[in-house]
Amino acid sequence: MKRLAAVVALLGLATATAACSGGSTNSSGGSGGGGGLFTTIDVLKPGLDASGPANPWAPKGNSFLGYNAMKLGWIKNHLTDPNQFYPGIAASWEIAPDNSSITLHIQPNAKWSDGKPVTADDVKLSLGLASTTGSTAFAVTPGAAGVASDVQVVDQKTVKVSQDMKNPSMKFARGIMDNWVVPAHVWNSLLPADFWDKLKAARETGADADKAREEILAIGQKVLAFAPPKDVSAGPFTLERVNPGEALLVKNKNFYNAANVAPAQVKLLNYNGNEQIWNYLSAGKLDQAGFTAMPSDIMTRIKNAPGSNVIRGFSPVAVGMAFNQSKKPYDNVHVRRGLAYLIDRDQVTKVASPEGGTPALTTSGIHQKPAQEWIGSELASLNPYKHDVAKAEEEFKAAGLKKTGGKWTLADGSPWKVSMRAPATFSDWISAEENIKSQLIAGGVDAEVVTVADYPVYLEELDAGKYDVGFWLMALGPAPYDIFQRLYGAANGWTNVAGKVAHSAPGKGGNWMGSAEEIDVEGVGKINPGELTAKLNAATPEQAKPIMAQLAKTANQDLPAIQLWDYVNTQFTNTSRFTGWPEQDSDLLRLNAGVWIQLGLIKAKQ
């Protein structure tokens, strides 16, 4: 979910109202690396909150990923392997061959900005804090997959974390590495002395466990609200000050790789909408910015700014047009296929995401870039659903729809209007839906676009089954389970608790997509896609490949969603002040500039 939240936040930048930045910064000073001021934005945090604490768990806090907020390691988002990382607080790690444990070796020279060493106790406390707010390896749900059962301090620089093997997950190591580390001497008052016993009790069932979970939830609320009196960081920077216009961070001389950190200061500018980021980039103000949806003309303007540089790479996410099959006529596969033929995905992508997406080659549930690696030659055998009005008509006729006066109606002659929803802040989705609307109307299918106030409301109402058709992020790599759980997971009725897969009826338990529980797939036979997806959770890559092929065929034939475009990671950098940027297509592009800096990539321009 954390990955999803990040992707969502990235997309959520397409928002409306305006604000402006202000304030000034002294660009002199600093030592080591010889650089000056590095200016950027935090793509995960629109709207700086000057009163926010330096707390990485706080939703509106002033801890910035990779700058003053450190994780054990930085996830590479490899095309197919979820367990590859760059070092963070952990300099190295060993994952047991059966995934039963991960042993973390803390950076030998790591110190907090106040001079105290980073120790195994800091890591243990941080993992405890993660359990009060977290999910994945730190879920307190009884029997959840891939949960840490034990955190053991081996020595002052080594921690061993074991997985509960009753319900193992391939992503256990990823769940551990993807966690914040904070200083125990600042944060230890938050966890009671008997916390670890409480946590153990919370993962059982019964009244005592319920009580323990409640207590942990209460601690979690304190963790979210905690405001350390001073930012003590083990990262390359510490927070100096923040105002509504900008956050200023200064170099942490105690950072373990400080000699290779070029900038003396980092300034994160405030923004509330895409257009502010466009302005910053057009003016050459930013040294780096993550992906922002923008029209081609704006991209041209940005490219013309002095020193402007665009780097593109893989983004492990696609967008699909998903159906609520509990509503007619979307319960009929021929209707979904007809719509797939009727929509020209090339045109949709050209209008909606010319700089940030490539039209999906087919609809497989997997991003086109890793699809070849996962399903190989099977990819070519999938139906590409090329734009074809005649085929769309055939499908609609097969579904029993009727065409009267050039307009398609439902079988009983009642009107049919494809009502598409999107969050008001996602400009590329609205643009896409507007284009699809025009295409559908041209094909005789009445359509409308309705916006919803914001993304949380959108998800809530989608979940409640209020919409017929909505846009849905899918193909969230690289873990195979993550890829298909978007199509055959909780939103489509299959919940995976304690390794047991349960199916809710359409319209119940968050099942808004409402696919059939069993699907007869040509060349495969009858399968239960939810159970197959759950198997991916514990499968090795070799075991996963045939399952992925079956699921891709299912998604292609049954179309719970039409894959529209695969996102492209478009990054903006400026070569006027700094050099040493990641190469085109580098996997580092899936991490932020704070991580590039701490890894020693960025150099001041001489």
Partner 1 sequence: MSVLLESSSTSAAMRRNFWAGVWRVMKRKPSRMVGAVLVLGFVFMGVFGPMFYPAQLPLDPTRITAPPSWEHWLGTDDQGRDVIALVVTGSRYVLLAALVTAVITVVVGTGIGLFSGFKRGRWDNVLMRLTDMKLTIPGLPLLLVLSTVWKFSSAIQMGLVLGLLGWGGVARAVRSQTLSLRERGFIEAARGLGLPTRHIVGKELLPSMAPYIAMNMLIAVTGGVYAQVGLFFLGVLPYESNNWGQMLNTAVFRSGALQVPSALGFLIGPLLAILLLTLAIVLVVDAMDEIFNPRLREE
Asked if 450 is part of the footprint of partner 1 (rule: CB under 8 A), the reply reads yes
Task: Compute how many residues bind partner 1; rule: CB under 8 A.
Answer: 37
CB 102 within 8 Å of CB 160? yes
Contact stretch for partner 1 (CB under 8 A) within 136-144, 194-202, 297-305, 312-320: 297-305
Alpha-carbon gap, residue 104 to 155, rounded angstroms: 11
Asked if 489 is part of the footprint of partner 1 (rule: CB under 8 A), the reply reads no
CB of 18 to partner 1, least distance (A): 9
- The residue (of 165 and 453) whose beta carbon lies closer to partner 1 is 453
- The residue (of 422 and 552) whose beta carbon lies closer to partner 1 is 422
Alpha-carbon gap, residue 138 to 131, rounded angstroms: 5
DSSP character at residue 589: G
Report in angstroms the alpha-carbon separations of 95 from 2, 474, 561, 587.
21, 28, 36, 21
Q: What do you get for the CA distance between the two ends of the chain, in Å?
A: 42
Amino acid sitting at position 321: M
Which neighbouring-strand residues pair with 101?
Answer: 162
Residue of 175, 180, 184 whose CA lies nearest to 71 = 180
Contact stretch for partner 1 (CB under 8 A) within 381-389, 445-453, 555-563, 588-596: 445-453
Asked if 449 is part of the footprint of partner 1 (rule: CB under 8 A), the reply reads yes
Asked if 463 is part of the footprint of partner 1 (rule: CB under 8 A), the reply reads no
Asked if 308 is part of the footprint of partner 1 (rule: CB under 8 A), the reply reads no
CB atoms within 10 A of CB 344: 18
Q: What is the dihedral of CA 391, 396, 399, 402, to 10 degrees?
A: -140
- The residue (of 114 and 461) whose beta carbon lies closer to partner 1 is 461
Report in angstroms the alpha-carbon separations of 304 from 285, 298, 344, 552, 574.
13, 10, 31, 41, 11
Asked if 430 is part of the footprint of partner 1 (rule: CB under 8 A), the reply reads yes
Asked if 452 is part of the footprint of partner 1 (rule: CB under 8 A), the reply reads yes
- Among 114, 331, 388, 434, which residue sits at the site for partner 1 (rule: CB under 8 A)? 434
Residue of 95, 85, 87, 74 whose CA lies nearest to 6 = 74
Q: Which of residues 350-409 bind partner 1 (CB under 8 A)?
A: 350-351
Alpha-carbon gap, residue 488 to 482, rounded angstroms: 10
CB of 343 to partner 1, least distance (A): 13
Q: Which of residues 241-280 bind partner 1 (CB under 8 A)?
A: 273-275, 278-279
Asked if 234 is part of the footprint of partner 1 (rule: CB under 8 A), the reply reads no
CB of 350 to partner 1, least distance (A): 5
- Among 152, 243, 296, 540, which residue sits at the site for partner 1 (rule: CB under 8 A)? 296
- The residue (of 114 and 346) whose beta carbon lies closer to partner 1 is 346
Alpha-carbon gap, residue 511 to 528, rounded angstroms: 15
CB of 347 to partner 1, least distance (A): 5
- The residue (of 216 and 447) whose beta carbon lies closer to partner 1 is 447
CB of 327 to partner 1, least distance (A): 18
CB 131 within 8 Å of CB 202? no
CB of 47 to partner 1, least distance (A): 15
- Among 30, 263, 295, 480, which residue sits at the site for partner 1 (rule: CB under 8 A)? 295
Asked if 592 is part of the footprint of partner 1 (rule: CB under 8 A), the reply reads no
**R_g (Cα) of the chain, nearest Å:** 25
Helix axes 207-225, 195-202, angle to 10 degrees: 130
CB of 89 to partner 1, least distance (A): 40
Q: Which positions touch partner 1 (CB under 8 A)? A: 14-17, 273-275, 278-279, 282, 294-298, 300-301, 347, 350-351, 422, 424-425, 427, 430-431, 434-435, 438, 441-442, 449-453, 457
